[in-house]
Amino acid sequence: MAKGDVVDRAEGFLKKNLETMPQKKRTEYQNQKLRGIVLYAYKNSVAFRNKMDSARLKPRDIQTIKDLEKIPITKKTDLMELQQKNPPFGGFEGVPVTEMRRIFISPGPIYEPGEADYDELGWAQGMYAGGFRPGDIVINTFSYHMVPFALQMVDNSLHMIGCISIPTGVGNTEQQVNILKSFKATGYCGTPSFLLNIAEKAEEMGLDLKEDLSLKAGFVAAEMLPESLRSKLEEKFGMIIRQTYGTADIRCLGYECMKKNGMHIPDDKIVEIIDPETGKQLGPGKIGEIVATTFNKTYPLIRFGTGDLSILSETPCPCGRTSPRLIKIMGRVDQATKVRGLFIHPGQVNEVASRYPQVANYQIVIKRKEDKDEMIFRIELQEEVRQPEKLKQEIEQSIRDVMKVRGDVQFIPKGTLPEGAKKIEDQRTWE
Ligand SMILES: [Zn+2]
């Protein structure tokens, strides 16, 4: 327990009966849920029915998790393609739009049916496992506009536990510090690098992070969390930091408990680790793509390929939760990668470059500097330009417009980039 904290944040469960089910019971529980959602989605989601029909499958063919192998995997690119053909949701929605409380838009763009009623357990289970307790006052620094994470998922989940959320959103570091201080806030939701920004700002303002602030639990996502950064933040604030993993489309897919033993898969999600080439399940211990199935009736994605690589573990966790765990995220199946929590695709890099006829050759390099992602757009020009500084600024603005992430432009001599160089070169290491 952290110094001065009277709350026991280490023990207990949000939904004990679900989180501690014996393995056999869990499989039965999930198979039953799976049959239900397959039947529901077949009736209510045009995209899913088409997928089943094209594979000559009927709902009765899917009885168990193993049977999922018969269903072709849906990728993010399929979502975008089908949404263009059949706007706005590509037929993936499971309820009429009039029944949705909200609609979200993620980069791509991908249109996401919001909830009818938010009842997803994953993130709330994760927050509880990570030390959040009823009565915690929490700043939620994820972005609230357009994308679903902050408003729909984090905010609703805090409410499910009985926490009080302050929707601070991104940026305004100094104001965030003042808010933390005024409310003696005990919880933080956001990226690890932004928490580091807050720590630096608070120190700059002459505050003692442990004495003047009251943070006890942090729930971080959307970026890698190297152990060095975690322990640095935990020590600075005297708080617990646990990470979670998921996507906007399929929501929570894993969360850490106090034992830091990989990420527990929520009880209302089926996660397969598959061979990306064959689509077959690999079982525990083998690296493969994370493919997930949700029981969400508003947006019933079945066998959604995340493109992320991980390894599954079924060995018992000393925390008492019986769910299998994802042993860290190992990288991307394809070239797309995340920078400061947002996906960037080679297509976006091409899009930026195509706006400037002066550009001959280019590559994005992603680095890690002082625990923050850094994106450098290396460019070879056709010929010398008269005002390179002006061009640099214009391209940097286009990067922000197209990729939604800040990047630095660096002009390099012609012929520097090797032939066939990757459009996105990820040089980050995670020690
Ligand atoms: Zn555990």
How far does the centroid of ligand 1 lie from the alpha carbon of residue 8, in Å? 16
How far does the centroid of ligand 1 lie from the alpha carbon of residue 281, in Å? 23
How far does the centroid of ligand 1 lie from the alpha carbon of residue 261, in Å? 6
**For tokens 């064959």, what's the residue?**
278
How far does the centroid of ligand 1 lie from the alpha carbon of residue 199, in Å? 28
Integer distance in angstroms from the first to the last C-alpha of the chain? 26
Task: Give bridge partners of residue 426 from the DSSP assignment.
Answer: 366
How far does the centroid of ligand 1 lie from the alpha carbon of residue 292, in Å? 20
Compare 256 and 248 and report the one with higher pLDDT: 256
- Cα 109 from Cα 249, distance rounded (Å): 12
How far does the centroid of ligand 1 lie from the alpha carbon of residue 190, in Å? 22
Reading the block at residue 379, the tokens are 């460019």
Which H, E and C letters describe 260-312, residue by residue?
CCCEECCCCEEEEEECCCCCCECCCCCCEEEEEEECCCCCCCCCEEEEEEEEE
Percent of the chain residues past pLDDT 90, beyond the cut: 78
How far does the centroid of ligand 1 lie from the alpha carbon of residue 316, in Å? 8
| DSSP annotation string for 49-74 | HHHHHHTT--GGG--SGGGGGGSPPB
How far does the centroid of ligand 1 lie from the alpha carbon of residue 328, in Å? 14
Give residue-wise pLDDT tens across range 230-246.
999 999 999 999 999 99
How far does the centroid of ligand 1 lie from the alpha carbon of residue 320, in Å? 6
Query: For residues 307 and 336, is the Cβ–Cβ distance under 8 A?
Result: yes
- Residue 1 pLDDT exceeds 60: no
pTM exceeds cut of 0.85? no
- Residue 153 pLDDT exceeds 70: yes
**For tokens 């920004």, what's the residue?**
197
- Residue 73 pLDDT exceeds 50: yes
At residue 194, what is the residue type?
F
How far does the centroid of ligand 1 lie from the alpha carbon of residue 217, in Å? 17
At residue 257, what is the residue type?
C
How far does the centroid of ligand 1 lie from the alpha carbon of residue 381, in Å? 52
